[in-house]
């Protein structure tokens, strides 16, 4: 995905930090099921892992070996940095009393997520309540509800107990029409064609969320589907559930929308919660697992533009959900590489800004904006100092610390702290100079004009 030529051989001799991802399902596997499978997703991510990290992807089927034989426990969760939920079942059923997460699993997830574990929560549309299910449940239950609705915080970000369903009247249809005039209300051939849906991206300061920032521009496409689910932003965000950090309370937000091709209505397809800003795990919620399934990826040309953009999104997602301790290891790898880059070394005498701008461009090229954000400011909240000043100062500290090339002795925390302090002090000095330049300017203007 990135141009390996600019990486060259200037990489750390240390082992790459490992980012371990668990796909947790109740039916879906890596193959089979008529394309309701995750093999292509896994292969795309593993084939495009960056030079500064090593990805591991495992899949656990909750019911493999017997009903609820493979529950989520603290021991299981401790082996992963993030969990991606791909559930199909709707609820507990007679003879299947633990299709839904039990209290012990919810408690284990809460502890793990509070410690930084990242979560992707998915599902799909709703179907009528299955015959035999608890009659007190709503008439419509979402596909994936059994695994998803009790996941702490993440479970609140999707509609589980109501429409949209799979009917033409009450569904969310994002099928991009094909040139042959195929009925967009039919899954085949539309799920299999090479035409993705176009996204509407929410932007902040002119940029989409880092998940949707590609190396060559915004990632504005997703696989399409005839009946997607619906995202939800909770009306109440009590701090005991959605904690507050030093920069305030981070709130979930929808960052990408899709359009119903029948009526033009716009729906959220991807939302994020930056829990890292409050010291807990990040969350991404998706309107449907069809954005990840083989069935919806088969139609895109291998190594083609569409699949390349989707791969960038999947890798961005993996990196963005990674907890802070591993990100600090990633930062160490990147700082080593930047300190060895001749492009950076050539401009080191130019203060902080120029090396910072150069380094930022390199990181965007090989890692994306999300990784750059966490490298520039590995703390809560958003920095008030320009990123080029902070990054330039940290890179200069890295070059000094790695003067003899001893990566084993590289104190990442110390280097970053000294660099951030130096960047902040440089910015303060710039502001003081600017303030001095304008002191007395009002009187000077008045005297000159009169």
The domain segmentation of the chain, as residue ranges, is: 4-320, 324-437
Helix axis angle, 369-376 to 305-320, nearest 10°: 30
The answer to whether 119 and 82 are in contact (CB under 8 A) is yes
Q: Identify the weakest region by mean pLDDT among 77-81, 265-269, 410-414.
A: 410-414
pLDDT class of 405 with cuts at 50, 70, 90: low
Longest dimension (CA), the chain: 92
**pLDDT at site 7:** 85
CA distances from 337 to 164, 215, 345 (A): 48, 19, 11
CB-side neighbour CA atoms (13 Å) of 326 = 25
Q: How far is CA 402 from the centre of its chain?
A: 31
pLDDT, tens only, 324-370: 999 999 999 999 999 999 999 999 999 999 999 999 999 999 999 99
The answer to whether 392 and 354 are in contact (CB under 8 A) is yes
- How far is residue 201's CA from residue 217's CA, in Å, rounded to a whole number? 12
**pLDDT at site 174:** 96
The pLDDT of residue 2 is above 70? no
Element counts in the chain: helices (H) and strands (E)? 14, 16
The pLDDT of residue 409 is above 80? no
Instruction: Match 């993030």 to its residue by tokens.
Output: 82
DSSP for 77-100, written as a single string? HTT-SEEEEE----S-BTTBTTSS
**pLDDT at site 450:** 67
**pLDDT at site 188:** 83
Q: Identify the weakest region by mean pLDDT among 41-50, 223-232, 381-390.
A: 381-390
* Average confidence (pLDDT) over 53-57: 97
pLDDT, tens only, 315-328: 999 999 999 999 99
**pLDDT at site 1:** 62
**pLDDT at site 381:** 81
The pLDDT of residue 21 is above 70? yes
- How far is residue 20's CA from residue 318's CA, in Å, rounded to a whole number? 9
395-409 burial code (b ≥16 CB/10 A, e <16): bbbbbebbeeeeeee
């Amino acid at each position: 995905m990135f141009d390996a030529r600019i990486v060259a051989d200037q990489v750390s001799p240390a082992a790459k930090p490992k980012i371990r991802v668990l796909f947790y399902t109740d039916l879906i596997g890596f193959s089979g099921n008529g394309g309701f499978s995750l093999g292509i997703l896994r292969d795309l991510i593993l084939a495009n892992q960056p030079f500064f990290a090593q990805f591991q992807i495992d899949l656990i089927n909750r019911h493999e070996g017997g009903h609820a034989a493979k529950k989520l426990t603290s021991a299981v969760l401790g082996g992963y940095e993030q969990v991606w939920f791909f559930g199909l079942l709707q609820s507990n059923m007679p003879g299947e009393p633990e299709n839904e997460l039990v209290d012990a699993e919810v408690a284990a997830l809460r502890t793990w997520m509070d410690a930084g574990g990242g979560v992707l929560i998915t599902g799909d549309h709703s179907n009528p309540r299955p015959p035999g299910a608890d009659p007190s449940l709503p008439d419509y239950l979402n596909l994936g509800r059994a695994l998803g609705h009790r996941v702490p915080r993440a479970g609140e970000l999707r509609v589980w107990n109501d429409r949209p369903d799979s009917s033409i009247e009450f569904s969310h249809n994002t099928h991009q029409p094909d040139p042959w005039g195929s009925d967009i209300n039919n899954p085949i051939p539309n799920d299999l064609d090479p035409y993705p849906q176009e996204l509407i991206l929410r932007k902040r300061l002119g940029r989409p969320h880092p998940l949707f920032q590609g190396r060559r521009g915004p990632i504005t496409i997703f696989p399409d589907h005839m009946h997607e689910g619906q995202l939800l932003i909770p009306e109440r965000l009590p701090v005991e559930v959605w904690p507050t950090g030093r920069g305030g309370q981070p709130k979930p937000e929808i960052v990408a929308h899709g359009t119903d091709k029948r009526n033009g209505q716009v729906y959220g397809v991807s939302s994020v919660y930056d829990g890292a800003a409050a010291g807990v795990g990040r969350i991404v919620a998706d309107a449907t697992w069809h954005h990840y399934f083989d069935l919806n990826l088969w139609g895109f040309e291998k190594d083609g533009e569409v699949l390349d953009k989707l791969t960038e999104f999947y890798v961005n997602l993996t990196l963005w959900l990674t907890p802070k301790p591993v990100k600090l290891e990633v930062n160490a790898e990147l700082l080593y590489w930047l300190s060895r880059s001749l492009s950076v070394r050539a401009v080191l005498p130019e203060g902080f800004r120029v090396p910072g701008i150069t380094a930022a461009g390199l990181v965007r090229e090989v890692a994306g904006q999300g990784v750059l954000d966490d490298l520039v400011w590995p703390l809560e909240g958003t920095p008030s100092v320009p990123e080029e000043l902070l990054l330039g100062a940290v890179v200069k500290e890295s070059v000094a610390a790695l003067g003899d090339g001893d990566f084993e002795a590289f104190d990442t925390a110390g280097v970053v702290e000294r660099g951030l302090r130096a960047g902040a002090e440089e910015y303060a000095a710039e502001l003081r100079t600017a303030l001095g330049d304008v002191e007395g300017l009002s009187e000077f203007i008045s005297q000159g004009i009169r």
